[in-house]
Amino acid sequence: MGADSMEFPEISAMRIVFLGAPGSGKGTQAVKVKSELGIAHISTGDLLRAQVRAGTPLGIKAKAVMDAGQLVSDDVVLGMLEARLAEPDTAVGFILDGYPRNLVQANALDALLTRIGQPLDVAVLLAVPSELIVSRLAGRAQAEGRKDDTPETVRERLRVYAEQTEPVVDFYVRAGKLIEVDGVGEVDEVNARILAAIRVPA
């Protein structure tokens, strides 16, 4: 698994998944790449909150689950994602940020994208050493006066991430769609690496 460059026939219609541990900067990079490529940025967390606010049937179903203190099922999230991918702006490409998180979701997403004729082009994995993420998130929590991102809790989140997401990484390696990019450095430096890896002029 390396950061070897990949070539695509239509840069303007790229369909990308961003993978990375909490604190790896994937959300920040997804926003920048969205702006540079002019494609839709889809965060499943934002999507879920928007559906709940709008009171859609899926949103109502999701709110009932969340109000009961439970996790929203993969089926509900996938339904929201399918509805979002049916919107016109995704026809020229999209970036999925933070999804899929596990192998079940990866397989379900692959089936959905195949069914709607929008197969994924590339999965970009932002690689950042765990201890750097621990110090980064702990520093951010201290600056923001938060107590939830202690070094211990961050390490536990990273352990869970590694346990659930490693099979997703392997899934995209086997599919020949994974690019690993060094996520250490300034935002613009990391962004330039991503663009270079997918052969988009920076």
pLDDT digits 0-9 by tens, 113-163: 999 999 999 999 999 999 999 988 887 877 887 777 788 888 888 998 889
Full-model pTM: 0.83
> Does residue 140 have an active-site annotation?
yes
Question: Residue 200 has what pLDDT?
Answer: 57
Query: Measured between alpha carbons, how far is 168 from 38 in angstroms, rounded to an integer?
Result: 26
Please tell me which residue in 115, 146, 159, 199 is annotated as part of the active site. Answer: 146
> Does residue 26 have an active-site annotation?
yes
Please tell me which residue in 26, 32, 34, 177 is annotated as part of the active site. Answer: 26
More confident residue, 14 or 67: 14
Question: Residue 45 has what pLDDT?
Answer: 83
Please tell me which residue in 15, 34, 84, 157 is annotated as part of the active site. Answer: 157
pLDDT cut 90: percent of the chain above it: 53
> Does residue 84 have an active-site annotation?
no
> Does residue 49 have an active-site annotation?
no
Q: Which residues of 91-116 are buried (b: 16+ CB within 10 A; e: fewer)?
A: eebbbbbbbbbbbebbebbbeebeee
CATH code assigned to 11-43+94-197:
3.40.50.300
More confident residue, 9 or 155: 155
Query: Measured between alpha carbons, how far is 63 from 70 in angstroms, rounded to an integer?
Result: 10
Query: Measured between alpha carbons, how far is 70 from 74 in angstroms, rounded to an integer?
Result: 12
Q: How many CB atoms lie within 10 A of CB 68?
A: 7
Please tell me which residue in 53, 115, 140, 199 is annotated as part of the active site. Answer: 140
Give per-residue pLDDT as tens, 18-52.
Answer: 999 988 999 999 999 999 999 999 998 888 888 88
Question: Residue 8 has what pLDDT?
Answer: 42
Query: Measured between alpha carbons, how far is 202 from 195 in angstroms, rounded to an integer?
Result: 6
Per domain, the residue ranges of the chain are: 11-43+94-197
Mean pLDDT of 85-105: 93
